Amino acid sequence: MRPRLRDLGIEIGALPTGRHNAITDVAGVLVGHATVVRDEPTVARTGVTVVVPRSGDSWTEAVFGGWHNFSGNGEMTGIPWIEETGLLDSPIAITTTHQVGLVRDALVKLAVEQGGVDAFHLPVVAETWDGWLSDADSFPLTEEDVRTAFASAVDGPVTEGAVGGGTGMICHEFKGGIGTSSRVVESKSGIHTVGVLVQANYGRRDDLRLDGWPLGRLIDKDEVPSAWDEPPNGGSIIVIAATDAPLIPIQCQRLAKRVTVGLGRVGGYGHDSSGDIFLAFSTGNRLAPGGDPWKVDVMPMSDMDGLFHAVADATEESIINALCAAETMTGQKGRTAHAFPVERVRELIGAR
C-alpha cells in the first residue's frame, strides 16, 4: 500500500480534510472505475472513471454546476447546456481522448435504460490522452467498460493512481492518474465539504512542487527516468470539484476557476498542448427539471472564500495523491512510466 501525501508528513493548507480525504466526502457523490490493462490483442492501458453527483436520483434530478476552461486542448462534452443553464443532470465520466464518444453514447444508453429518460440527454465526458503507454489508436475501450465503471460507483474511500480513466496517464514525467482530496470549511453559512477528483496527465518534472517546495528538480532523471523521451505533447488534467455548499451555477463557475490556483502551485502552466478543464458542482440543491418553481438555498457570495481555499488546496493535494498512488507501469513499445519515488521523497522531506 503506497502512502498518500499526508502519510509523508505534508499537509496542504490550513483546512481539515473530510473523513476519507476524497471527493466522496461530499455526501451522495459516488466514484467508480473500470480499469483496462491487457496486452492482447493490443496493448491497452486505459479505462473510465465515473463520478455520480448524487446517488439515488441522478437520472431524475439535476444539480447546479459550472465549468472553467483554463487550457482548452482537451474535450469535455455537455458544455453548451452547462454554460447555458448550469444544470448537470448526468453522471460525469473521464476517460481517454480517442474514446470520449463511446463513453458519452454509453452514458446516453444508460440514461435510456435506467433513467427512464424519454427524450435526450447530454452527458459530461472529459478526457486526457493515454496514447504513450496505451495503443489508443486501437480503440480498446468498450461500452461494457462504461457499464462496469458506472455499476461500481460507491461512496467511501476512492482508489487512486493508475485506475479507471487514469490508468495510462503520466504526470510531471512520473506515472500519474486519479487522485482525490477534500476539505471541510466553516463559514457564516455553516459547515460544508469540498471534494476534488483529478485525472492528472500533465506537466514537466522540473516544475513539480510539494507545498511550494521545488521537489521535482531534486529527483534526477538518472535516478528515476522520465516518462517522456521528449517534451510532452499530450499533457492535460481534468478536475472535478464537488461541494455540498448550496451554490447556484455562477458560484460553481467561481469555484471551478479557483482550481487554477491549486494546479498552478503544483506546477501547471496551462501548456499549449494541455487540456486543463475544470467542472464544479453543488449537491446543495436538487432541481426537478419539469416541476414546480424551485426553492433554492444559496450561500451568500461573501461566504465563499473558504470554499476557494478548499478547492485550491484539495486540487493541489489530489494531484500529489495521484502521483503517490500510481505504481510504475510498462505499456506499449516497451515504454515505462516510473512511479513517483515516495520513499526517496520521504527522505528528501526529512532532510529539508
* Cell numbers placing 221: 532523471
Contact stretch for its own copies (CB under 8 A) within 34-42, 176-184, 300-308, 339-347: 300-308
Query: Interface with its own copies includes 137 (CB under 8 A)?
Result: yes
Name the minimum Å distance from CB 97 to its own copies: 4
Burial class (CB in 10 A: 0-12, 13-18, 19+), 301: exposed
| 69-98 positions binding its own copies, by CB under 8 A | 69-87, 97-98
* Cell numbers placing 340: 513517483
Residues near 174 by beta carbon (within 8 Å), at least 6 away in sequence:
205, 224, 227, 323, 326, 337, 338, 339, 340
Of the CA atoms within 13 Å of residue 193, those in its CB half-sphere come to 20
| 304-343 positions binding its own copies, by CB under 8 A | 304-305, 308-309, 312
| Minimum CB distance to its own copies smaller for 264 or for 341 | 264
Please select the residue that binds its own copies; options are 264, 286, 328, 349, rule is CB under 8 A: 264
Query: Interface with its own copies includes 291 (CB under 8 A)?
Result: yes
Rg for the chain (alpha carbons), in Å?
19
Contact stretch for its own copies (CB under 8 A) within 17-25, 147-155, 193-201, 203-211: 203-211
Does residue 134 have an active-site annotation? no
| 214-233 positions binding its own copies, by CB under 8 A | 214, 233
* Cell numbers placing 226: 522520465
Does residue 276 have an active-site annotation? yes
Q: What angle do CA 31, 269, 48 make, to 5 degrees?
A: 25
Name the minimum Å distance from CB 166 to its own copies: 16
**Contact in structure between 280 and 255 (CB atoms under 8 Å):** yes
Name the minimum Å distance from CB 280 to its own copies: 13
Name the minimum Å distance from CB 272 to its own copies: 5
Please select the residue that binds its own copies; options are 176, 177, 262, 331, rule is CB under 8 A: 262
Please identify which of the residues 58, 189, 274, 282 carries the catalytic annotation: 274
* Cell numbers placing 328: 510504475
| 116-135 positions binding its own copies, by CB under 8 A | 119-122, 125, 129, 131
Round to whole Å and give the CA distance between 170 and 35: 16
| Minimum CB distance to its own copies smaller for 174 or for 278 | 278
Query: Interface with its own copies includes 45 (CB under 8 A)?
Result: no
How far is residue 61 from each of residues 88, 280, 284, measured CA to CA in Å? 9, 17, 12
Please select the residue that binds its own copies; options are 100, 110, 241, 314, rule is CB under 8 A: 100
* Cell numbers placing 220: 534526477
Round to whole Å and give the CA distance between 77 and 212: 33
Does residue 58 have an active-site annotation? no
Number of residues in contact with its own copies under rule CB under 8 A: 98
Name the minimum Å distance from CB 110 to its own copies: 12
Please select the residue that binds its own copies; options are 188, 230, 333, 334, rule is CB under 8 A: 188
Query: Interface with its own copies includes 191 (CB under 8 A)?
Result: no
Name the minimum Å distance from CB 139 to its own copies: 7
Round to whole Å and give the CA distance between 282 and 253: 11
Q: Give DSSP secondary structure letters for 22-80.
A: SGGGSTT-EEEEEEEEE-SSS-EEEEEEEEESSTTTTTT-EEEEEEEEEEESS-BTTHH
Please select the residue that binds its own copies; options are 3, 55, 218, 269, rule is CB under 8 A: 269
Which residues have a catalytic role annotated? Answer: 236, 274, 276
